Amino acid sequence: MTYIAKPKFHHPGLKKNELGYTHRDYEGKISTLCAGCGHDSITASIIEACYELSIEPHRVAKISGIGCSSKTPDYFLGNSHGFNSVHGRMPSVLTGANLANRDLIYLGVSGDGDSASIGFGQFAHSIRRGVNMTYIVENNGVYGLTKGQFSATADRGSKSKKGVTNTDNAIDLVAIALQLGATFVARSFSGDKTQLVPLIAAAIGHKGASFIDVISPCIAFNNHAGSTKSFDYVREHNDAVNRLDVLVGRDPIAVDYAPGTVQVVEQHDGSKIALRKIDADYDPHDRLGAQTFLAKHAAKGQIVTGLLYVDPDAEDLHAHLNTVDAPLNTLEADTLCPGSSVLDKINASLR
Amino acid sequence: MSDKKPLSSVNDFVVRFANVNGSGSASANEMFARAILRHGVPVSPRNIFPSNIQGLPTWYEVRVTEDGHLGARGGVDMMVAMNPQTWDKDVAGIEPGGYLFYDSTKPMPSTKFRDDITVIGVPLTAITNSTYTDPRQRQLFKNIIYLGSLSALLEMDPKVIEQLIGEQYKGKEKLLSSNVHALHLGRDWALQNLKCPIGLRVKKSDKVGDRIFIEGNSAAALGAVYGGATVCAWYPITPSSSVAEAFTAHCKKYRHDPETGKAKYAIVQGEDELASIGIVIGASWNGARAFTATSGPGISLMTEFIGLSYFAEIPAVIMNIQRAGPSTGMPTRTQQCDIIACAYASHGDTKHVLLFPEDPAEAFEFAAAAFDLAERLQTTIFLMLDLDIGMNHRLCRPLKWDDAKQYDRGKVMTAEMLEEGRDFGRYLDVDGDGIPYRTYPGTHPTKGSYFTRGTSRDRYARYSEEGSVYADNMQRLVRKFETAQDLVPRPLQANAERPTKYGVIYFGSTSPAMDEAIGLLEARGHQLDRLRIRAFPFHSSVASFLAEHDFVYVVEQNRDSQLRQLIVNENGIDPVRLVPIVHYDGTPITARFIAKAIGDHQDHLKVTPLRKAVS
């Protein structure tokens, strides 16, 4: 957590988005993470995505658990309410917040310890329920804040900085999210902003449970030879299924259409995702196919990145619960309380 | 047959039904209790059931009490022994001179009975088998047949039962008439073959008044509806599950938009208690009124979040329907055993508000009030019920609601207030009551946002590990807890007829047994002033009560006299003056138990000065 004030002034010529906000309006406090941390790149991508989408910063609620990744909501969207909750419990807190006010954008930020170990259950169940959220795991395969213990996403056979070999099988959160019915599933790499920014933007536009696993090397404890989450390893083993751009009904964000292989997906909020296909056979609407594709590449030691699956017609938890359109937190006694005459009838029925 | 004169009593006796669970007896037994109520005679029924769905013993006890003593009495005057598994124990439990009602289809050896009781055999199986062929019908109607026989034996008005059957099966004519038929099968057999009535009789009276008959869990759930709860997250656990189920049922009736049919509530069955309280905290943080219902093991799991609610100051309402602990304990037995666990839940220094309703009427009131208190105080409010109140029908005053009442949403800074330039510090004590202002997420584009965290921070919610900053915040939380003292329901005091230096403190479901015990103690010559505690933090009148009496008994349903510990701890008084009276075998406390324990101690006290005089 930072206590260093960030100067507010900025260059008068700084570019503004549709709402008149500059990049600076989407920033938060100065990061206190280690210099070069992958998480800071993800923070930058979140800022970029929100700026490009012209989101009103205060309409986002950013919720996290505990750990290095969970500190990051302090470093972006300074005008948003943030909630650094309990270790592994971000999903439940976010679910509750979402139920209270369906009109805000919910950004859940978590880490691999937070989501694959202590909070594995909550991760799973929030996905199952289809909570309308963007759930980002900043995955470094290591417990950074407690100095280098393996996390549950560390690959079997990978080596810790101290030279210990991990003998436990790894959990692939992307595979699990697909299996549990997430309606937007993606993986990216903190060092690949070009891929990550549109993924985050598309996930925010998605009305349902969006999950993005972002491999984010821990430069202090998991960026050495023998690690499978280091910058070098991920760059060498990355196999992108697609590149995408998000079009939000205004000037397209410099889309660099790759000829012949562009697929446009329109989401519920009207935003369009343009997928520039790298693997011509890849179909992001096929959940089963995505699972197979993922498993096949994992067997080859390849880390698949890109948008793996999206259901543009997804429904969220509010739809399942058939809740009223007005946020529940705006309802008052006049609409919530059945009143004394009903109570008299209830009393009469209990005699 | 009988060595002892058969018991004789009108409108004052205990009937216990021994059944096998899953046999459909519950609704017939409940109808028996309701029928007596319809005679204008108060009853107090209790389920004694196992943590099981089918095949294990279950009992239903009905105390018929013209005098309105709604606590458990102890002892059984008439046993309706329908379970061969528990026969010996059931027969042994009958008061001398009492009655045994059983299914006499199969002959029983005389050694299976007692000489000092009246044995009443009705060939229930034979009657059912000759009337019905379907096995399920045989099972269900057998229960109604014994109800019919009992109505004759106890001289109950069959019209009253018929009317109840009519209400229960309204619109289902076939079921209605077949139930009435079964009722008369049993009744007629008894009238023709047995001496009716027996010594125990039900006579019409007018002692029920306008009181209602409701389970505490249902009343608490209704309180949540009236109190404006919109989010409920829960995980099934006995004996609290029926709170969420009742909330669901009430919401389906009263909380759908008439035009769109959409729900003005959200109920989520969490994957565990951690998720349930997490959802409650998230929803409350975002400005909705939210609650969960659980029991002891759930409280243990929720403890980390409860600490967050205290420290980050997020409203939450937790209904704890207590059962016997520790660990899994006795899941279907009652206790008041989570007082300390809830009052000081979480690591670090914490204190939490507890509300102690005595019956369903207070469960309704306090449940609704809990949401006001949670938002006013921005912290967790525990509604402390127990299985005895929660899962039994209890006669209580009608539920009341004032339509002029608005919800107290607490100190919430709005966009307008922020625009006016009001200084917003999330943890800034502007009014001196320890309660800061909060903002809901999404309030204002540039003002009023803050970062909520479980780590230490300053008055403006900025992270800080400065000792003085931390201590300043912890002191404010103490101030806030002092403010709570005057907001929570106050203790109720009732003084003895004559001035006395002895007092008794009690709370929650102990109430009816305590009221009855006072009469028993007075008959023994003991005068006691009473104080019923209804909430923690304790109001200053608790300290005054302690100061005004030499000895104060603290009656509670746990082993370690937890409320007494809390009183001693919070008031810094000499523990010797607080005498623990504890009952913790999982059965509800009785007047007989209280009167004996206090009476014996009183007798002992009166001996002491004499010894001193001799030496």
Strands (E), A259-312: 262-266, 272-277, 303-310
Q: What is the pLDDT of residue B2?
A: 47
Average pLDDT over residues B98-104: 98
pLDDT value at B103 more than 50: yes
Burial B57-89 (b: 16+ CB within 10 A, else e): bbbbbbbbbbebbbbbbbbbbbbbbbbeebbee
- Nearest CA-CA distance, residue B444 and chain A, Å: 7
- Nearest CA-CA distance, residue B87 and chain A, Å: 34
Cβ B290–A83 below 8 Å, yes or no?
no
pLDDT per residue as tens, chain A (351 positions): 445 566 677 777 889 999 999 999 999 999 999 998 999 999 999 999 999 999 999 999 999 999 999 999 999 999 999 999 999 999 999 999 999 999 999 999 999 999 999 999 999 999 999 999 999 999 998 898 888 899 999 989 988 888 899 999 999 999 999 999 999 999 999 989 999 999 999 999 999 999 999 999 898 888 888 888 888 888 888 888 888 877 654 443 333 444 446 677 777 677 777 766 777 778 999 999 999 999 998 898 888 999 999 999 999 999 999 999 999 999 999 999 999 999 999 999 999
Cβ B454–A340 below 8 Å, yes or no?
no
Phi, psi of B322 (to 5 degrees): -75, 145
CB of A273 closer than 8 Å to CB of A265: yes
Q: Is B262 in CB contact (< 8 Å) with chain A? A: yes
Q: What is the pLDDT of residue B50?
A: 81
Cβ A322–B255 below 8 Å, yes or no?
no
Burial B104-114 (b: 16+ CB within 10 A, else e): eeeeeeeeeeb
Cβ A81–B210 below 8 Å, yes or no?
no
Q: What is the C-alpha separation between B383 and B321, in angstroms, rounded?
A: 8
Average pLDDT over residues B593-605: 94
- Specify which residues B234 forms β-bridges with: B269
Which residues of chain B are within 8 Å of residue A316 when distances are taken between CB atoms? Answer: none
- What ipTM did this prediction achieve? 0.95
Q: Which residue of A has its CA nearest to B211?
A: A351
| Largest pairwise CA distance in chain B | 89
Q: Is A318 in CB contact (< 8 Å) with chain B? A: yes
The label of the residue with tokens 């049922």 reads B249
3-state secondary structure of B52: coil
Q: What is the C-alpha separation between B252 and B415, in angstroms, rounded?
A: 34
Residue A263 CA, chain-centre distance (Å), reads 23
Q: What is the C-alpha separation between B598 and B555, in angstroms, rounded?
A: 9
Average pLDDT over residues B565-591: 95
Greater model confidence, A223 or B202: B202
Chain A segment 65-94 residues within 8 A of B by beta carbon are: 73-74, 78-86, 89, 91-94
Q: Is A259 in CB contact (< 8 Å) with chain B? A: no
Bridge-based pairing state of the strands A262-266 and A272-277: antiparallel
Q: Is A340 in CB contact (< 8 Å) with chain B? A: yes
Nearest CA-CA partner of B433 in B488, B395, B376, B492: B376
Please count the helices (runs of H) and the strands (runs of E) in chain A. 12, 13
Q: Which residue of B has its CA nearest to A77?
A: B449
User: Which of A63, A86, A340 minimises the CB distance to B401?
Assistant: A340
Q: What is the pLDDT of residue A10?
A: 74
Average pLDDT of chain B to the nearest whole number: 95
Tens digits of residue pLDDT in B498-555:
999 999 999 999 999 999 999 999 999 999 999 999 999 999 999 999 999 999 999 9
Please count the helices (runs of H) and the strands (runs of E) in chain B. 19, 23
Tens digits of residue pLDDT in A35-80:
989 999 999 999 999 999 999 999 999 999 999 999 999 999 999 9
Q: Is B210 in CB contact (< 8 Å) with chain A? A: yes
C-beta pairs of A264-268 under 8 Å, 24+ apart in sequence: A265/A310, A265/A312, A266/A312, A267/A202, A267/A205, A267/A206, A267/A207, A267/A310, A267/A312, A268/A205, A268/A206, A268/A207, A268/A312, A268/A313, A268/A314
Greater model confidence, A240 or B434: B434
Cβ B288–A85 below 8 Å, yes or no?
no
- Nearest CA-CA distance, residue A268 and chain B, Å: 21
Average pLDDT over residues B73-86: 95
DSSP annotation of A263: E
Q: Is B284 in CB contact (< 8 Å) with chain A? A: yes
Cβ B231–A335 below 8 Å, yes or no?
no
Cβ B233–A122 below 8 Å, yes or no?
no
Strands (E), B184-296: 200-201, 212-215, 231-234, 266-269, 290-294
Cβ B261–A99 below 8 Å, yes or no?
no
From residue B180, how far is each of A117, B29, B38, B147 by CA, in Å?
Answer: 59, 15, 17, 11
Cβ A347–B212 below 8 Å, yes or no?
yes
Q: What is the pLDDT of residue B21?
A: 83
Q: Which of B453, B455, B469, B470 would you mutate first to test chain A, the one with the most A CBs within 10 A? A: B453
Q: What is the C-alpha separation between B425 and B547, in angstroms, rounded?
A: 41
Q: Which of B269, B286, B413, B466 would you mutate first to test chain A, the one with the most A CBs within 10 A? A: B286
Q: Is A339 in CB contact (< 8 Å) with chain B? A: yes
Q: What is the pLDDT of residue B3?
A: 61
From residue B238, how far is each of A294, B20, B251, B362, B556 by CA, in Å?
Answer: 43, 19, 21, 21, 21
Question: In the numeric block, which tokens belong to residue B87?
Answer: 């026969």
Cβ B231–A328 below 8 Å, yes or no?
yes
Residue type, B133: T
pLDDT value at B613 more than 60: no
Cβ A74–B451 below 8 Å, yes or no?
yes
Chain A segment 126-155 residues within 8 A of B by beta carbon are: 129
Cβ B401–A79 below 8 Å, yes or no?
no
Tens digits of residue pLDDT in B338-394:
999 999 999 999 999 999 999 999 999 999 999 999 999 999 999 999 999 999 999
The upper half-sphere exposure of residue B363, i.e. CA atoms within 13 Å in the direction of its Cβ, equals 33
Q: What is the C-alpha separation between A175 and A169, in angstroms, rounded?
A: 14
Q: Which residue of B has its CA nearest to A76?
A: B451
Q: Which residue of A has its CA nearest to B407?
A: A333
Residue A3 CA, chain-centre distance (Å), reads 26
Q: Which residue of B has its CA nearest to A104?
A: B442
CB of A28 closer than 8 Å to CB of A77: yes
pLDDT value at B611 more than 60: no
Q: What is the pLDDT of residue B378?
A: 98
Q: Which of A27, A328, A335, A347 would you mutate first to test chain B, the one with the most B CBs within 10 A? A: A328
Strands (E), B155-255: 200-201, 212-215, 231-234
Cβ B279–A347 below 8 Å, yes or no?
no
CB of A42 closer than 8 Å to CB of A136: yes
Cβ A324–B262 below 8 Å, yes or no?
yes
Which residues of chain B are within 8 Å of residue A96 when distances are taken between CB atoms? Answer: 231, 233, 278-286, 288, 290
Which residues of chain B are within 8 Å of residue A84 when distances are taken between CB atoms? Answer: 451-455
User: Which of A58, A121, A125 minimises the CB distance to B449?
Assistant: A58
A–B CB contacts, 8 A cutoff, strictly below: 235
Bridge-based pairing state of the strands B551-556 and A81-84: unpaired
Cβ B278–A92 below 8 Å, yes or no?
yes
User: Which of A1, A82, A325 minimises the CB distance to B455?
Assistant: A1
* Whole-prediction pTM: 0.95
Beta-carbon count within 10 A of B8 CB: 11
